[in-house]
Structure 1
Amino acid sequence: MVLDIDLFREEKGGDPELVRDSQRKRYKDVKLVDDVIDYDQRWRRDRFSTDNFNRLINLCSKVIGEKMKARCIIYLKKESVADDNTVPIDYMERLEALCADDIKGLKISQIKKLKNTIDQKLVEKRREMEKLEAKRHQRLIQIGNIIHPTVPVSDNEDNNRVEKTFGDIKTKKKYSHIDLCMMIDGFDGDRGTSVAGGRGYFLKGPLVFLEQAVINFALQMLHCKGFIALYTPFFMRKEVMQEVAQLNQFDQELYKVSFKIIAMPLLISNSFVFFQ
C-alpha cells in the first residue's frame, strides 16, 4: 500500500519527519522522502499555474464574446484584420497575474494572440506536471509503510521479537517438510533448478496427488461458504503489478517473460485460484 501523499505535506497535517524516521528504522534511503517532497512541491506549483492558465483562457473567451456582442461599429472599423496583434511585453511578464480589466484593455486580435500564447504555456505546464508526477510516484512506491512503535529496530531478521507462542513449544520436529518430501521421493529440487532456475522444482508421485487434493479440498470448502471460484490469468500488466509490488526489485521477487515486440508481462507469483 503506497503512503498517502498528504503525509508528506505539512500544511495538510502531514508529518514528513515521521516518514523519515520510519525509513531510518528500516535502514532505507531517507533521501527518498526529500525527493518526494521536492517533486510534489514543484508539481503543486505547476498545478497552480495550470489553474491560472485555464482561468485566463476562459476570461479571454468571455471578453472576446463581450466585445463582439457590443457591436461597437466605430471600434470594429478601427480594428481591421491587418491591425497589429502584438501583446504588450508587460502582459507577458505578468501573465499569470492578469485580470479582467487588463484583458479588456486589449483589442480582439491581441486577446486572440494572448489566448494562443496561454494555450501553448498550458500544454507545456501539463507535460511538465506529468513528468514530475511520474518521478514523484516512482520514489513514493519505494517508501515502506510507517513502522509501528513496537517493532524492534534492527537490520537483522534474527533480532525479531516473538510476539506470541501457541501450543507445546517444547515439541521439536524430527524432520522438516523438505526432509519428509525427500523421504517419500516426492520432490526433485536439483532438476527443477537446472530447468527453471533457483526457485524451480519438480513434484513427484504422491506429492502431486497431495497438492491436487489440498487444492480441491480448499475449493470445495470455499464454494460451500458461498465464494465464487476464479481461475486467474498467469500474466499481469506491469502498471497493475506495481500497485502491489515494488517493480525496482522485480528481478528478485517476480517472474518475467521478455518479448521483442510486445510489452513485457509479469508472471503472478504463486498464482493458482483466487476467490471473490
Structure 2
Amino acid sequence: MIDARLLRTDPDRIRRSQRARGESVELVDKLVGVDESRRQAIATYESARAEQKELGKQIPKAQGEEKQALLAKTKQLAEQVKSAEATQRETEAEFNELLLAVGNLVFDDVPEGGEDDYVVLETHGAPRDFESEGFAARDHLELSEGLGGVIDVERGAKVSGSRFYFLTGVAAELELALINLAMQTAIGNGFTAMVPPALVKPTAMEGTGFLGQAADDVYRLEADDLYLVGTAEVPLAAYRSEEILNAAELPLRYAGYSPSYRREAGSYGKDTRGIFRVHWFDKVEMFSYCDPEDAAAEHQRLLEWEKDFITKLELPFQVLELAAGDLGLSAARKYDCYAWFPSQGRYREITSTSNCTDFQARRLNIRARFGDGTRPVATLNGTLCAMTRMIIALLENHQQADGSIHVPQALRPYLGGRERLTAPGAVAR
C-alpha cells in the first residue's frame, strides 16, 4: 500500500498517479476525509480512556457522596469509551479498505495511456524471411503435428477443459530444458533457487495486490480458503512477510519455479488456438528484496537478465515500457519483452519485470533495519521464462523446411547435445 502520510503531506501526488492509471481520483478525496475522521476518532477514544484511567485512580481515595459521584461518572465514561472505541474501529476498517484499493504511485515519467500506448525502447535481432528460404512459416500446432503431436490440446480439453494441454515427447523435453537453463542462469546471476507452494492464504494474495483489480483472474479454493497463484511472485513476496531483514544482506534475490494458474477472465475469443493463452503454465520467476534507494537500478538489472536469457535462445525481440493505465496495482513501472511470433506476424509478450517500490512490503509488513531506522524494503519481480510462450517462440522461430527445430546452443546441454528436434524416428536434413 502507499504511505498513508502522503494523504496529509502530498495528496495531489496520489491524485496524479490515480489519474495516470485511469483509476478513481475521487477515491483519494474520500480517503482524505476518512483519514480525518479516523484520526479524530482515535483522539476522542484516547482522551476518554485517559480520563477514565484518572478517575480510576481517584475512586479509592474518595469517600461518601464524592465517591458515588465518581462511580457514576466512571459508568458514564465507560459508555463513552465503548462508543469511541467502536467508532475508531469502524473508521479504521473503512480507511484500510479504501487504502488497499489505491494503486502504487506511478513514476511521473511513465508513458501516459492504456494497453496500446506502450513505448518500444529497443529492438534486438530481426525476424527471419521464410519466403526467401523457400517455405512458409507454420504455427506451433502445425509444427507439433510434424514432431509427433507433442502439444496435445484436444486431450487437454478432454481431461481438464478448454485452454489446457498435454506436452509430450520433445515438447516436454523442451520445457524441462528451459526450466534447467532458466534456473541455472538465475543461480549464476546470484539468485537462490526456490520451489515455492502454488497455494497461498488470502493474506499473501492480497499483500501482493492480486485481490483488487486482478481478483477475477484468480482461482480460489473456497473450501480451504486458499488461492492458486498466477505467478511465483506471490509466494516469493510473502516468504519474508512480517519479518525485519538485515539491510546489510540486501538485495535478497530468489528464483522460483512453479506452476501458474489464471482464469483468463475477460479473454473469451482471444488467442484460442494452441497454448499461447492458457489456464495453467510453468514459469521461472525472479524476485528481489532491496533498499528502496536501489530499486530503480535493480529493475534495470532484472531487465538485463531477461534480455540476456532471450538472446541466449536466439530469438528476435523488443523491449517495451508499458503505459500507466496498463500497470498492475502493485507496479510503479513495468517493462515487457516481446518476442517475434512468425505465425502471427507480430511481437507478443514473453517476459515482464516490475518495480513495486515499497508498496507490497508495506502490505506484507516486510522491513529492514537501515542506518536511519527500520522501514519497508522495495520488492521487484521479473519473469525469466514462461514456458508455453517460450516454447511457441522457439518452435516457430527455429523451424526448418523439413519440420525439424533448430536447438539454440545454450539449450543443447539440457537436450542431450542435440542440434535439432525431430519426430521419433525422423532424420533431420
TM over 0.5: yes
Q: Which runs of 5+ in 1 are unaligned?
A: 69-75, 84-106
List aligned pairs for 1:58-137, cutoff 5 A: 58-65=53-60, 67=61, 76=63, 79=64, 107-137=66-96
Mapped pair 1:25 → 2:20: yes
Conserved in 1, the CA contact under 8 Å of 2:144 and 2:151?
yes
Aligned partner of 1:18: which letter?
A: R
TM-score by length of 1: 0.68
Partner residue, 1:47? 42
Partner residue, 1:93? none
Structure 2 CA distance for aligned equivalents of residues 231 and 240 of structure 1: 16
Partner residue, 1:148? 107
Q: Deviations over 1:1-24 (max 9, x none)?
A: x11111111xxx2x2222222222
List aligned pairs for 1:164-203, cutoff 5 A: 164-169=121-126, 184=147, 185-193=149-157, 195-196=159-160, 199-203=163-167
Structure 2 CA distance for aligned equivalents of residues 126 and 202 of structure 1: 57
Aligned partner of 2:3: which letter?
A: D
| Structure with the higher fraction of residues in helix conformation | 1
Shift of residue 52 of structure 1? 0.6
Change (3 A) 1:122 1:177: farther
Mapped pair 1:160 → 2:159: no
Higher Rg: 1
Identity among equivalent pairs (%): 25
Structure 1 CA distance for aligned equivalents of residues 88 and 146 of structure 2: 60
| Structure with the higher fraction of residues in strand conformation | 2
Shift of residue 219 of structure 1? 4.6
Match of 1:269 among 230, 233, 248: 230
Shift of residue 243 of structure 1? 0.7
Q: Deviations over 1:128-161 (max 9, x none)?
A: 3223222222222222222223223223x22211
Aligned partner of 1:142: which letter?
A: A
Change (3 A) 1:59 1:23: same
Shift of residue 201 of structure 1? 2.9
Aligned partner of 2:150: which letter?
A: G
Structure 2 CA distance for aligned equivalents of residues 179 and 132 of structure 1: 59
Change (3 A) 1:4 1:215: same
Change (3 A) 1:226 1:16: closer
Corresponding residue SS for 1:159: coil
Aligned partner of 1:206: which letter?
A: V
Aligned partner of 1:189: which letter?
A: V
Q: Deviations over 1:243-262 (max 9, x none)?
A: 11241445432111222xx5
Structure 2 CA distance for aligned equivalents of residues 133 and 201 of structure 1: 47
Partner residue, 2:420? none
Conserved in 1, the CA contact under 8 Å of 2:41 and 2:91?
no
Change (3 A) 1:42 1:180: farther
Structure 2 CA distance for aligned equivalents of residues 201 and 250 of structure 1: 24
Structure 2 CA distance for aligned equivalents of residues 172 and 42 of structure 1: 65
Structure 2 CA distance for aligned equivalents of residues 178 and 143 of structure 1: 42
What is the aligned-residue RMSD (CA, Å)?
3.2
Mapped pair 1:8 → 2:7: yes
Shift of residue 49 of structure 1? 0.8
TM-score by length of 2: 0.46
List aligned pairs for 1:230-245, cutoff 5 A: 230-245=194-209
Structure 1 CA distance for aligned equivalents of residues 162 and 211 of structure 2: 20
Structure 1 CA distance for aligned equivalents of residues 77 and 213 of structure 2: 42
Conserved in 2, the CA contact under 8 Å of 1:234 and 1:267?
yes
| Number of aligned residues | 230
Shift of residue 227 of structure 1? 5.8
Structure 2 CA distance for aligned equivalents of residues 178 and 242 of structure 1: 37
Aligned partner of 2:228: which letter?
A: L
Conserved in 2, the CA contact under 8 Å of 1:141 and 1:246?
no
List aligned pairs for 1:208-247, cutoff 5 A: 208-219=172-183, 229-247=193-211
Corresponding residue SS for 1:266: strand
Q: Deviations over 1:229-275 (max 9, x none)?
A: 4433332111221011241445432111222xx5x211122444588
User: Which shows bigger deviation, 138-147 or 197-206?
Assistant: 197-206
Partner residue, 2:300? none
